[in-house]
Homo-oligomer: A and B are copies of this chain.
Amino acid sequence: MKIAILGLGAVGRGVAEMVAAKDLGISVTGIADSTSGIINPAGIDIPAILAKKQKQGFCGDKHISAGEVLRKAEYDTLVEVTPTNAVTGEPGLGYIRQAIRQKKHVVTSNKGPIALAYKDLRRLAAKNGVALRHEATVGGAIPIFHMLEHGLAGNEILAIFGVLNGTCNYILTRMSDEGLTYEQALLEAREMGYAEADPTYDVQGIDAAIKLVILANTIWGNGVRLEDVDRTGIDLLTPDALRLADEEDCTIRLIAEAIPKKGLLRVAPRIIEKNHPLVVEGTLNAITIETDMAKEITLIGKGAGSIETASAIIGDLLFIRDCYVKRA
């Protein structure tokens, strides 16, 4: 199996490292970061280009663009891991479309294109007889889509509830455990590297809402959009609210929930019993799926991290290898 990787941030680096370190039968024949590219049909020397990237800030040849890698490299599957843009989906969305039209399978961790255009992309992939997989877009290392597709095959999915943003969960955990104010906990999250300088995207529930949209569209194909999510962030929560919850053996978590039969699509801070499986600590993510046969199944795991997200991408790659590439 031959792959091309577009994007060499934390996720792209993780994938490249793991593919190089493990004997998975995967060879990388094209890589591009935002300013350079490299193409090698015989397989790229991953440790060398990662060292170059670290030293010089770019991985390949400045004259080779991502678009050129996309068009000219020899590969079965594109790993599209460029930065997310939730408004336009670009540049990832264009790369994904082009790869599918070239009859390449696509694996992506990029939430923008999947949240914006999942239905179109699926149709395009079906038309071109290729796979489009996006395990890494929701819940980091948690293989939620594999679980839904295989483990829970035959089940009707009735509802989904999730702790989908590690930054918010860290802040709420610290407010709850240590009685910190929102501002104190946010400052701490920044110092730990869990929150960005501008935390809006996380703390106002936008990131969680995008993931909820991806889950809903993947499960129910109902074409919901970010604007359809009833959304409240955690930035107005007070230590008093958490103290009151604590008195009832409860706590507060930012819960994303979708219940199609009730028309519910919401991200909001919710009071929840401390012993509920969704109450996880720190930056963990958790997802509960409610079905007709299996009833409630909860998955808990790391929602971010270079190697953790690479795990999800490699799971998708191996699925494509076994179900498509080997049988082609």
Task: Tell me the bound Cα distance from A182 to B279 in angstroms.
Answer: 28
Q: Is the CB of A153 within 8 A of B298?
A: no
A105-144 CB contacts (< 8 Å) to partner B: 135, 141-143
Contacting pair A150 B150 (CB below 8 A): yes
Q: Is the interface of A mostly helix, strand, loop or mixed?
A: mixed
Which residues 136-167 of A have a CB within 8 angstroms of B?
Answer: 141-143, 146-147, 149-155
A221 CB → nearest B CB, Å: 18
Are the CB atoms of B308 and A295 closer together than 8 Å? yes
In the complex, are the beta carbons of B298 and A311 less than 8 A apart? no
Contact check, A154 vs B18: say whether CB atoms are below 8 A apart. Answer: yes
A150 touches B319 (CB 8 A): yes
Q: Is A154 a contact partner of B296 (Cβ separation < 8 A)? A: no
Task: Please tell me which one of the listed residues B277, B295, B310 contacts residue A277 in the complex, with CB atoms under 8 A apart.
Answer: B277
Q: Do A299 and B302 form a contact, CB below 8 Å, given A153-B319, A293-B307, A311-B293? A: no
B143 touches A151 (CB 8 A): yes
Q: Mark A271-306, 1 if CB is under 8 A from B, else 0.
A: 000110101110010000001011111111110010
Tell me if A295 and B291 are in contact (CB < 8 A): no
| A141, A279, A314, most chain B CB atoms within 10 A | A141
A299 contacts B299, C-beta separation under 8 Å: yes
Contacts of A297 in B (CB 8 A): 141-143, 299-301
Question: Interface size (A, Cβ < 8 Å)?
Answer: 45
Residues of B within 8 A of A312 (CB): 294
Check: A241 CB closer than 8 A to any chain B CB: no
When A147-B143, A152-B315, A275-B281 are in contact, do A310 and B293 touch as well, CB less than 8 Å?
yes
Whether A22 is near chain B, meaning CB under 8 Å from some CB there, is yes
A299 to B287, CA, bound (A): 10
Return chain B residues, CB-CB under 8 Å to A295: 141, 301-302, 305, 308
Residues of A within 8 A of B (CB): 18, 22, 24, 135, 141-143, 146-147, 149-155, 274-275, 277, 279-281, 284, 291, 293-302, 305, 307-308, 310-312, 314-315, 317-319
Minimum-distance CB pairs A-B, first 5: A143-B151, A293-B311, A146-B151, A141-B294, A294-B311
